[in-house]
Amino acid sequence: MKIRVKTFARFRELMGTKLEIELPDGSTVRDGVACLVSGDPTAREALFDEQGHIKNHVIVMVNRRRLPNREREAEGLHEGDELAIFPPVAGG
Amino acid sequence: MIRISREDFDLCRMIREAKTGKTGGFVSFLGTVRDDGIESMDLEVYLEVAEQELAAISDEAFARFDILSVDIVHRVGRLKVGDQIVGIVVGASHRRAAFEACEYIIDRIKESVPIWKQEHTPSGSRWVPGEH
């Protein structure tokens, strides 16, 4: 299945923007994020902690809905979903 | 009026346009680019989510405080020192609700609207750390 990916700010510089990734059916948010940083140790270190979990301060949205930290890694992705990943915001 | 804009805005005009016979006062907040040794900054936005989040924050303010109007403009793009970043105007029958709602709105914007600032200095660029 194809997933559209949006990244912003520092993460955009690391991973580019308007990406599309191809994942096996049944993949989760964690699989999607891991796919984005595969082969790039700097990006992997920015997004994952030493235990292999998405870092707490990394914000993940699926279809423009922010996922709570506890549940997000297991959230299922579906064909055509928009996965957005970004660092803490700094507007205002 | 709630919007993300590349153009500058006029806070006085926002107040004029929000006036009604029932409004007893307005509280406004104006955020500007501070000189922290920078030459300019770029504001990057996740547009669709930022617009929906600003609207949600406005709805929250109406639910929590006894206010009559909320207007918010947040700029994106390249700004220089002294430029206006964000303007908030809250109208209410009585001042206390307007003060409280205005503070609530700017605090919520800083915590949840997906906008990032990249500062440009003579020695390079840096992302402003967000709140988390």
- Residue B43 clears pLDDT 90, i.e. is over it: yes
Instruction: Give every strand in the sheet of B25-32, ordered side by side.
Output: B2-5, B69-75, B84-92, B25-32
| A60 contacts A71 by C-beta, under 8 angstroms | no
Interface contact B131-A64, CB threshold 8 A: no
- Residue B131 clears pLDDT 80, i.e. is over it: no
Q: Which residue of A has its CA nearest to B105?
A: A92
Contact list in A for residue B115 (CB cut-off 8 A) is: 89-92
The 10s digit of each residue's pLDDT in B104-114 is 999 999 999 99
Contact list in A for residue B128 (CB cut-off 8 A) is: 90
Q: Which residue of B has its CA nearest to A60?
A: B114
| B88 contacts A62 by C-beta, under 8 angstroms | no
Q: Which residue of A has its CA nearest to B103?
A: A92
Mean pLDDT computed over A45-66: 94
Mean pLDDT computed over A73-92: 94
The 10s digit of each residue's pLDDT in B74-124 is 999 999 999 999 999 999 999 999 999 999 999 999 999 999 999 999 999
- Residue B51 clears pLDDT 80, i.e. is over it: yes
- What ipTM describes this predicted complex? 0.88
Instruction: Give every strand in the sheet of A65-66, ordered side by side.
Output: A19-22, A2-7, A82-86, A59-62, A65-66
Q: Which of B108, B113, B116 to mutate to test the interface with A (most CBs of A within 10 A)?
A: B116
Cα of A31 to nearest chain B Cα, Å:
23
pTM: 0.91
Residue B132's pLDDT is what?
65
Q: Please, what is the average pLDDT of chain B?
A: 96
Task: Give, rounded to a whole angstrom, the gap between the first and last alpha carbons of chain B.
Answer: 28
